[in-house]
Chain A
Amino acid sequence: MEGDIAQLGQFVGAGLAAIGSGAAAIGVGHVAGNFLAGALRNPSAAAGQTATLFIGIAFAEALGIFSFLVALLLMFAV
């Protein structure tokens, strides 16, 4: 066992930031699940909305990416 308290803080902080990735997973699941629910109600309109689906997923994912960025910064840049 070696290292110092700052390194401990870095690793704990990076682990906490990784929770944000899980939260983004919930958001992406919501987008995809609601798309599927709507698509099963009206399958003929679904094909035209796949681009919207991916844009929605990308925006939901963006906030998870920021927590991933925080984790990366803590691990390698601080």
Chain B
Amino acid sequence: MGKIFFFAVLALVVVSGLIFAPAESKLAIHPMDQFIVQPLFGGDHVSWYTPTNVTLWMGLAVAAVFALLVLGSSRRAIVPGRTQSVAELAYGFIYKMVEDVAGKDGVKFFPYIMTLFMFIVMANFLGLIPMSFTTTSHIAVTAILAALVFFTVTIVGFVKNGAGFLGLFWVSSAPLALRPILAIIELISYFVRPVSHSIRLAGNVMAGHAVLKVFAGFAGALGLFSFLPIFAITAVYALEVLVAFIQAYVFTILTCVYLKDALHPSH
């Protein structure tokens, strides 16, 4: 049952990649063309309600998470199969991370952090399928994720600690004369968090995919020696698989670090 659904999602991914591929796919491709947001059903006007390729690939990422976690573990076998093993491995991995980094009382936020991780990792991996669209390469997408984390953490910090949350900016281990200056620096670094948090993910994913397309352009231009860039693409692709996972991991672990700061703001 779960397996059938999984293959159905995979087939849907491949078919939609072929159907909704850019219509004017010339040989000379621009490396940034793969990031263009376009409506699914013709036209070129994009409003907030228009279903675009971003909508499609985000939906597919959610469907993939559903296939892995809900359907993959629905049999509840004592001896897990392959899909159930991966689902259990992901659950245990994130649970241990939240417990280690954010502390025991951070476990309450485990569902949120698990959702973040699974969505980002699936969006990254689906983006690695040729002709697909990488939703996490857009700063608009990652900025929303990071802003949600930022507001969650700030609200949790104030609800849990009241005004004591401001102790995060008051470095009590530093000499008294230095503390106001450090407070300003800490305040700036606090508000810059969502910026670096979002651009790290989007920048890494976007740069990697652009590199792949640049090498693909070389392959078209070199003629007989086009096997050289194709080998390079293979190597860069392997690196991109690694980056897709590590960036999702880094996004999640930074969320845990910020959560720890909110729960225990003493410096």
Could you list which residues of chain A lie within 8 angstroms of chain B, going by C-beta atoms?
51, 54-55, 57-58, 61-62, 65-66, 68-69
State in angstroms the CA–CA spacing of A57 and B200 once bound together: 11
Contact A58 B195 (CB under 8 A): no
CB pair B199–A58 under 8 Å, yes or no, is: no
Q: Contacts A61-B200, A68-B199, A69-B195 given; indicate if A54 touches B97 (C-beta within 8 A).
A: no
Any chain A CB within 8 A of the CB of B101?
yes
Given the known A-B contacts A51-B101, A54-B249, are A65 and B254 also in contact in the complex, defined by CB atoms under 8 Å?
no
Cα distance, A65 to B246, chains bound together (Å): 16
Residues of chain B lying within 8 A (CB to CB) of residue A66:
192, 195-196
Q: Main secondary structure on chain B at its contact with chain A?
A: helix
Chain A residues closer than 8 Å to B18, beta-carbon distance: none
Residues on B with C-beta less than 8 A from A57 are 250
CB contact between B196 and one of A51, A54, A65 (< 8 Å): that residue: A65
Q: Which 5 A-B pairs have the closest CB atoms?
A: A62-B196, A65-B199, A58-B250, A65-B196, A65-B200
Chain A residue at smallest Cβ distance from B247: A58
Bound-complex Cα distance A61 to B247 (A): 12
- Residue from B196, B199, B246 with most neighbouring chain A CB atoms (10 Å): B196
Tell me the nearest residue of chain A to B100, going by C-beta: A51
* Distance between B198 CB and nearest chain A CB, rounded to angstroms: 9
| B62 on the A face (CB < 8 A) | no
Known: A55-B254, A58-B253. 14 other contacts (CB 8 A): A51-B100, A54-B249, A54-B250, A55-B253, A57-B250, A58-B200, A61-B200, A65-B196, A65-B199, A65-B203, A66-B195, A66-B196, A69-B195, A69-B199
Instruction: Find chain B residues with CB under 8 A from A68 CB.
Output: 199, 203
